[in-house]
A and B are shown apart, each in its own frame.
Chain A
């Protein structure tokens, strides 16, 4: 069973490596093979994880803690490669393999004949591997390795349409958010080693509250909370999720509906002992989550395009999930994550049907749909409504603040530095896509 689990875990990564090496050698597998291999690998992973889930949840077998050795070890610290298959990770593995598999099946047709077909599937497989790694990681270091893989693939898929400036610009922006959030994760790794001898989820040694180490626990918990907020677009990192809608529809589904955004919540579930031990951190989590949920629902109410509506709805529910974790209702949170991921994947995959479905529902209702949003009008005075709408139009002013306070000074700095570089050659327009458009070649 151990080997099967390891194989199931590693399979997407193996596919990525194989495809990448083949690409470097100048070979490219035909589309049907890529598509079928990917589907088969996720099916295999799904079956293995289903068996394991049944074992753990219904047969109450013990968790599996696999120590595969150390990447490196010094006198004071070691980077251990430790996988933990317990009642928290296996359901997430099961969910991830299911949803990534469904999206892979969907994408096989959807991405057909797109010049970036192979690039897309490579990134999807690398993402799958990263997500599995995050779920099965036994320590924060290994989790972080998976975390980074998820982050970079998500950014590269946002910027998938690399000929246009908006996707690339938004991808860079999201990458910025991810990197800042990851600083907190790195800090937590370092301080975890310093203070607790490493954050290994199976055996976490927290100091007693009486011993006066409680501020260390709070600090570490807050760092992990910030990292989780970055991945899940909650709290201080609220603004990036709508920008991620630039990628192809199935990538929006798998990342921002299904798996990637929930990894932040998963990190918090893993860090539950720390949260339990630190009331401050839990309270902070509840506040951040609650504020994000409220802002998310306000923004959702005013959104009028398919993908932004879903993005804000996702943010709302993620805020609520964070509140649940903060309140200690981890079982509810786990159910919420699972149900939410499934619903959002389905909704994202069907996002282009908004037009058709709306017309259908409208016709079935006899041509008159009940108006929505009216209880707000009844409760809140008119000028306050207008102000709230202005807030919603400005996306909570969140992005405005970040752009003006953080991004603009940075841009001025880099523009200044750019003066030191030679002037770039004026780019020729690449011209329209004509009838002889070919697949991407490696540069």
Chain B
């Protein structure tokens, strides 16, 4: 349902001011979050606005703009260091890459200071407690216990008290900073945001509502500003607290018939903001409610993202209403709207004691005694103090983070090299029993490993989950078509699912019944909440709600089975087929100009573009299974965050089904044969769907499979059932609710129950713990236990002499996997500002997002329950090809070049034959990997490696033992 946009009224705004305002809005919009309505969740770089800047600089700038954390807290890194996750050698290596400077000639350099301080640990206490530590604590009694030998030697002969006295006497007092001008009124006036936000949020929520409210906001089609002007200028209304004069302000705007731009300019004038400061002011004001402002801005630029109702959202309207409310509130609080500009924010100066305490700590750590300190002249002392200031908390956290990532790099690449040196694991010769193509998703790594362990003659491969088919798809149960492809791609082809021949009646019956059901449910819902219908429905139907409620909470699986039985009994599904063939070359869909289906050469293109780069050009197995994936969970507004990112945040089953159908088509096979991709005549492709939450695998179109492949399918099914159990068993080790000694069948039941459980905030862990993306042959990584932390993209460099396929693959995979990795990084490092906090108080509003509790900002990012086990590191791409080739391919694409050169991703290149790995260090330099300090344990099966462990696991090499051992694994 599309609403028309109202035109502007009133006088036009002057050219110069208008363009300046437009510029300010564009600048602000760029900084706002771009997460769309929450029904479709797409992972992207949370700091996309800063992607043109190198990573370390960008997070610091973003932390100033958004008041967010750039890295984990220092305590977090120290805890990791205590557990051995950061080693001293990592700090040394990272510091060796940092610029050095002399602090005390002959005694101390900047690197030495940081090294000593980071290895021993900086002792920070809150400033107010320093006197307590001095008087009651033991700061003056003894030095720190954890000093190095060298430091202790340097401190011999000095007492702590003497050192403290010396520091106290000599460290200069910090110079008080100047009071700063406020950027926005709320910086210097308390309670302005609390006055403005409730009204603004209620209005914005009502405007963007996608069909939740019984009574939609009137006048929505006129745009947000005009609707608010009309509604807020109603007579006989009482203003909310803090906004006295609201009615008059909006009545004035309504009578003068100003439009939103003019209102903004008027308010900016009243607030006394000069044109030079408009950019900063508008950005600061909009970033006070980033979620709502971001949603308004996004729906202005991409109105099609709105799930049901396209509303004429405009960021300038939102800004106008906000500024009018702000002017009213400021007038009420201060008497005048521009009085705030004369106030100043007092500078936050570090206290003298704080500075002395940090010098005291640093002196201990580097072994500078009282005498030595006293002997320093003022210039050197000043240098020393300055160096300590420069090694402040943010700098220390940055170094610790780089060391954290460096250790991760070693923990992955060193064992990988040993794995390569040990050679490929042997595989049975001859034709594989089956070949399976999964999405590159990191969650599929464990089921692929399980399948390969159970039946080593099965080959698994990874391809982006849309399997080359970017389609506009509508299933028989869907309301309308959706795009099943990465978000940056616009599908050109429409594919529809329809009932198979002879099943049209079933389909019609089912559709009618579903319509009836939906009317009944909707009226029931509505009825239970309104006045008169509510009276009857709660009295009469109330008791009947009891049994579903009790059953759902106490026995989720039982309830799900009952509902499944009811569905099968009363709403049987017809057999369906995909409408994907275009016989008439120019047949286009009427409304949007999409091609209705594919022509034969287009089909061959798609199949060839997936099978070719993977190296599957001939000798296919009798069965090739292609599995898309998605996730189902209950009571979860972020359900789409678990779906396939390559399918734009949706489930990839239709893509897999389509791919298999295309690959089975005789004309397509003939066309492919002429292009050099020979699929044997007895190969059959099957499409399927893997639910990563309940570990269900559904295969489609089994009735079309020739009877000759029946036994193959039965054998494969047995393998898949066993693999599902092992996969569930491996996943379950992460869930603390599950007892550690579950058997594989019980583990499968547990994960199925999680996906049907009403009260489960962690149905699965999604992309949590993702850290690596491997682009290369499966044979190179086969047998490596990667702990579900690696995206695996199948790429055969021998089939790609010109590196053209590599360019296509990296062009898709780097943005998608990099986006996922960065979304998880930022939501872990600062869950309150860049993520959306804990799930428990979330309240779905208007179908566009969630907010906390009764009313608040629209939350963006990932929930705490999704990132609690994540290790925040930038994703490490490991590409199996020559470094020069990879660099050339990446540099040829400006977007990829930005990703790499600005260090948003890390890169390493692998040469499997020579077991050599080179790590990219920037500016075109690859460093060969040296060293062997990380062991690669050899285990007989995955279960042996992860049994009883809840945390992250190192890489291991799985040398599958005899068949008897494989059977014994399932009894664990």
Residues of A within 8 A of B (CB): 32, 98, 102, 105-114, 161, 164, 166-167, 170, 242-250, 293-294, 296-297, 300-310, 312-313, 316-317, 320, 332, 335-336, 338-343, 345-347, 349-359, 361-367, 369-373, 376, 382, 385-387, 389-394, 397, 399-401, 403-404, 407-408, 425, 428, 431-437
Q: Which residues of B contact A353 (CB under 8 A)?
A: 634-636
Q: In the assembly, what is the distance between CA of A167 and CA of B851, in Å?
A: 13
Q: Which residues of A contact B514 (CB under 8 A)?
A: 364-365
Q: Which residues of A contact B235 (CB under 8 A)?
A: 387
- Contact assessment for A346 and B757 in the assembled complex, using a CB-CB cutoff below 8 Å: no
- A-B CB contacts (within 8 Å), total count: 318
Q: Which residues of B contact A351 (CB under 8 A)?
A: 843-844
Give the Cβ gap from B316 to chain A, nearest Cβ, in Å: 22
Which residue of B238, B553, B868 is within 8 Å of A349 (Cβ)? B553
Q: In the assembly, what is the distance between CA of A113 and CA of B829, in Å?
A: 18
14 residue pairs from A and B, CB less than 8 Å apart: A110-B759, A114-B838, A167-B853, A242-B854, A300-B214, A307-B854, A313-B534, A335-B542, A346-B545, A355-B639, A363-B479, A376-B215, A389-B218, A404-B238
Give the Cβ gap from B219 to chain A, nearest Cβ, in Å: 7
Counting from the closest, the 4 A-B pairs by CB-CB distance are A339-B542, A367-B479, A313-B529, A246-B853
- Contact assessment for B831 and A432 in the assembled complex, using a CB-CB cutoff below 8 Å: yes
Q: In the assembly, what is the distance between CA of A110 and CA of B863, in Å?
A: 14
Which residue of B39, B126, B553, B843 is within 8 Å of A307 (Cβ)? B843
Give the Cβ gap from B545 to chain A, nearest Cβ, in Å: 5
Closest residue of chain B to A164 (Cβ to Cβ) is B852
Q: In the assembly, what is the distance between CA of A365 and CA of B871, in Å?
A: 43
Closest residue of chain B to A107 (Cβ to Cβ) is B759
Closest residue of chain A to B201 (Cβ to Cβ) is A305
Which residue of A249, A297, A390, A407 is within 8 Å of B234 (Cβ)? A390
- Contact assessment for B840 and A339 in the assembled complex, using a CB-CB cutoff below 8 Å: no
Chain B residues 227-257 with CB under 8 Å of chain A are 230-232, 234-241
- Contact assessment for B521 and A361 in the assembled complex, using a CB-CB cutoff below 8 Å: yes
Interface membership of B726, Cβ < 8 A: no
Q: In the assembly, what is the distance between CA of A110 and CA of B515, in Å?
A: 33
Q: Which residues of B contact A302 (CB under 8 A)?
A: 206, 213-215, 217
- Contact assessment for B218 and A316 in the assembled complex, using a CB-CB cutoff below 8 Å: no
- Contact assessment for B844 and A113 in the assembled complex, using a CB-CB cutoff below 8 Å: no
Q: Mark B822-866, 1 if CB is under 8 A from A, else 0.
A: 000000111111000011111111110001111110000000100
Q: Which residues of A contact B531 (CB under 8 A)?
A: 293-294, 296-297, 316, 320
Q: In the assembly, what is the distance between CA of A349 and CA of B80, in Å?
A: 38
Give the Cβ gap from B130 to chain A, nearest Cβ, in Å: 12
User: Given that A111-B840, A352-B635, A386-B218 are known contacts, is A343 also in contact with B829, CB under 8 Å in the complex?
Assistant: no
Q: How many residues of B contact A (CB 8 A)?
A: 112
Q: In the assembly, what is the distance between CA of A304 and CA of B216, in Å?
A: 9
- Contact assessment for B539 and A393 in the assembled complex, using a CB-CB cutoff below 8 Å: no
Give the Cβ gap from B217 to chain A, nearest Cβ, in Å: 7
Given contacts A351-B843, A431-B73, 5 further A-B contacts (CB under 8 A): A106-B553, A246-B841, A305-B851, A355-B637, A363-B479
Q: Which residues of B contact A246 (CB under 8 A)?
A: 841, 852-854
Interface membership of B760, Cβ < 8 A: yes
- Contact assessment for B831 and A394 in the assembled complex, using a CB-CB cutoff below 8 Å: no
Q: In the assembly, what is the distance between CA of A31 and CA of B275, in Å?
A: 58
Chain B residues 632-647 with CB under 8 Å of chain A are 634-637, 639
Closest residue of chain A to B833 (Cβ to Cβ) is A432
Q: In the assembly, what is the distance between CA of A248 and CA of B841, in Å?
A: 5
User: Given that A339-B538, A367-B480, A390-B231 are known contacts, is A109 also in contact with B759, CB under 8 Å in the complex?
Assistant: yes
Please report whether the interface of chain A is mostly helix, strand, loop or mixed according to DSSP: helix
Interface membership of B69, Cβ < 8 A: yes
Q: Which residues of B contact A437 (CB under 8 A)?
A: 868
Q: In the assembly, what is the distance between CA of A246 and CA of B546, in Å?
A: 26
User: Given that A102-B549, A358-B211 are known contacts, is A436 also in contact with B230, CB under 8 Å in the complex?
Assistant: no
User: Given that A297-B531, A362-B479, A401-B238 are known contacts, is A352 also in contact with B864, CB under 8 Å in the complex?
Assistant: no
Give the Cβ gap from B880 to chain A, nearest Cβ, in Å: 31
- Contact assessment for A386 and B234 in the assembled complex, using a CB-CB cutoff below 8 Å: yes
Closest residue of chain A to B842 (Cβ to Cβ) is A352
Q: In the assembly, what is the distance between CA of A308 and CA of B206, in Å?
A: 12
Q: Which residues of B contact A354 (CB under 8 A)?
A: 212, 637, 844, 847
- Contact assessment for B238 and A372 in the assembled complex, using a CB-CB cutoff below 8 Å: no
Chain B residues 605-646 with CB under 8 Å of chain A are 634-637, 639
- Contact assessment for A245 and B542 in the assembled complex, using a CB-CB cutoff below 8 Å: no
User: Given that A313-B534, A433-B864 are known contacts, is A106 also in contact with B758, CB under 8 Å in the complex?
Assistant: yes
- Contact assessment for A386 and B231 in the assembled complex, using a CB-CB cutoff below 8 Å: yes
Most chain B beta-carbon contacts within 10 A, residue among A102, A114, A390: A390
Interface membership of B308, Cβ < 8 A: yes
Q: Which residues of A contact B548 (CB under 8 A)?
A: 346
Give the Cβ gap from B7 to chain A, nearest Cβ, in Å: 20
- Contact assessment for A390 and B232 in the assembled complex, using a CB-CB cutoff below 8 Å: yes
- Contact assessment for A432 and B538 in the assembled complex, using a CB-CB cutoff below 8 Å: no
Give the Cβ gap from A392 to chain B, nearest Cβ, in Å: 8
Q: Mark B798-840, 1 if CB is under 8 A from A, else 0.
A: 0000000000000000000000000000001111110000111
Q: In the assembly, what is the distance between CA of A303 and CA of B206, in Å?
A: 8
Interface membership of B554, Cβ < 8 A: yes
- Contact assessment for B213 and A350 in the assembled complex, using a CB-CB cutoff below 8 Å: no
Which residue of B519, B538, B853 is within 8 Å of A245 (Cβ)? B853
Q: In the assembly, what is the distance between CA of A425 and CA of B231, in Å?
A: 44
User: Given that A345-B549, A346-B548 are known contacts, is A432 also in contact with B69, CB under 8 Å in the complex?
Assistant: yes
Q: Which residues of A contact B853 (CB under 8 A)?
A: 166-167, 170, 245-247, 307
- Contact assessment for B844 and A305 in the assembled complex, using a CB-CB cutoff below 8 Å: yes
Q: Which residues of B contact A382 (CB under 8 A)?
A: 218
Q: In the assembly, what is the distance between CA of A195 and CA of B465, in Å?
A: 78
- Contact assessment for B538 and A336 in the assembled complex, using a CB-CB cutoff below 8 Å: yes
Which residue of A300, A352, A366, A401 is within 8 Å of B479 (Cβ)? A366
Q: Mark B532-546, 1 if CB is under 8 A from A, else 0.
A: 001101111111011
User: Given that A313-B528, A434-B76 are known contacts, is A248 also in contact with B840, CB under 8 Å in the complex?
Assistant: yes
User: Given that A304-B206, A401-B238 are known contacts, is A365 also in contact with B541, CB under 8 Å in the complex?
Assistant: no
Interface membership of B38, Cβ < 8 A: yes
Closest residue of chain A to B237 (Cβ to Cβ) is A390
Q: In the assembly, what is the distance between CA of A110 and CA of B761, in Å?
A: 6
- Contact assessment for A408 and B479 in the assembled complex, using a CB-CB cutoff below 8 Å: no
- Contact assessment for B241 and A400 in the assembled complex, using a CB-CB cutoff below 8 Å: yes
Q: Which residues of B contact A357 (CB under 8 A)?
A: 521
Q: Which residues of B contact A376 (CB under 8 A)?
A: 215
Q: Which residues of A contact B868 (CB under 8 A)?
A: 113, 435, 437
- Contact assessment for B238 and A394 in the assembled complex, using a CB-CB cutoff below 8 Å: yes
Q: In the assembly, what is the distance between CA of A357 and CA of B550, in Å?
A: 19
- Contact assessment for B214 and A301 in the assembled complex, using a CB-CB cutoff below 8 Å: yes
Give the Cβ gap from B636 to chain A, nearest Cβ, in Å: 7
User: Given that A345-B549, A435-B72 are known contacts, is A428 also in contact with B844, CB under 8 Å in the complex?
Assistant: no
Q: Which residues of A contact B636 (CB under 8 A)?
A: 352-353, 356
Which residue of A304, A364, A373, A403 is within 8 Å of B241 (Cβ)? A403
- Contact assessment for B737 and A112 in the assembled complex, using a CB-CB cutoff below 8 Å: yes
Interface membership of B202, Cβ < 8 A: yes
Interface membership of B601, Cβ < 8 A: no
Q: In the assembly, what is the distance between CA of A249 and CA of B854, in Å?
A: 11
Interface membership of B307, Cβ < 8 A: yes
- Contact assessment for A400 and B518 in the assembled complex, using a CB-CB cutoff below 8 Å: no
- Contact assessment for A310 and B529 in the assembled complex, using a CB-CB cutoff below 8 Å: yes
- Contact assessment for A352 and B553 in the assembled complex, using a CB-CB cutoff below 8 Å: no
Interface membership of B703, Cβ < 8 A: no
Q: Which residues of B contact A316 (CB under 8 A)?
A: 529-531, 534
Q: In the assembly, what is the distance between CA of A3 and CA of B830, in Å?
A: 53
Most chain B beta-carbon contacts within 10 A, residue among A243, A364, A399, A437: A364
Q: In the assembly, what is the distance between CA of A178 and CA of B80, in Å?
A: 47
Q: In the assembly, what is the distance between CA of A243 and CA of B870, in Å?
A: 33
Give the Cβ gap from A372 to chain B, nearest Cβ, in Å: 5
- Contact assessment for A387 and B237 in the assembled complex, using a CB-CB cutoff below 8 Å: yes
Give the Cβ gap from A299 to chain B, nearest Cβ, in Å: 10
User: Given that A435-B871, A436-B75 are known contacts, is A361 also in contact with B522, CB under 8 Å in the complex?
Assistant: yes
User: Given that A170-B854, A339-B538, A339-B539 are known contacts, is A394 also in contact with B553, CB under 8 Å in the complex?
Assistant: no
